[in-house]
Amino acid sequence: MNLYEHTIIARQDTSPNEIKQLTEKYSKIVEKNDGEIVKTENWGLLSLSHLIKKNKKGSYIHFKIKGKGNVIGELEKNEALDKKLLRYLTVKVKKFDLEANYFSKIEDKEKKEY
């Protein structure tokens, strides 16, 4: 089984309920194709480096996926048709970093250090 980190960027006007539906939709696609979602992270609404389809911001959702190559092919095929998404990216990795939470608030990190 291969390990993948997969990130999707939804439009800035996507509601939290729609973000949850998108997460469930793509998780089901992975599971239907004999893959496994190891971890899902909602990174929230972040600024984009440049305009994408007239959007200055996007809602980021990050998946850590364990599966074969056909899982990613099917996932990206469905994402290419989804009008709510701006971009998606898949990176094959050798191992997952399940400890670090890169997009937690700064105050949370300071509390953990004391």
Q: How confident is the model at residue 110 (pLDDT cuts 50, 70, 90)?
A: low
Contact predicate 6/62, CB 8 Å: yes
Q: Which residues pair with 91 in a beta bridge?
A: 5
- What local confidence, expressed as pLDDT, does residue 91 receive? 92
Count of structural domains within the chain: 1
Structure confidence by residue, pLDDT tens digits, 51-78: 988 899 999 999 999 988 889 999 999 9
- Is pLDDT at 7 greater than 90 in this prediction? yes
Helix, strand, coil percent values for the chain (each to nearest 5): 35, 45, 25
pTM: 0.82
Domain range for 52 is: 2-94+103-113
- What local confidence, expressed as pLDDT, does residue 96 receive? 79
**Alpha-carbon distance 49 to 52, whole Å?**
9
**Alpha-carbon distance 32 to 20, whole Å?**
18
Q: What is the CATH number of the domain that holds 62?
A: 3.30.70.60
Contact predicate 30/5, CB 8 Å: no
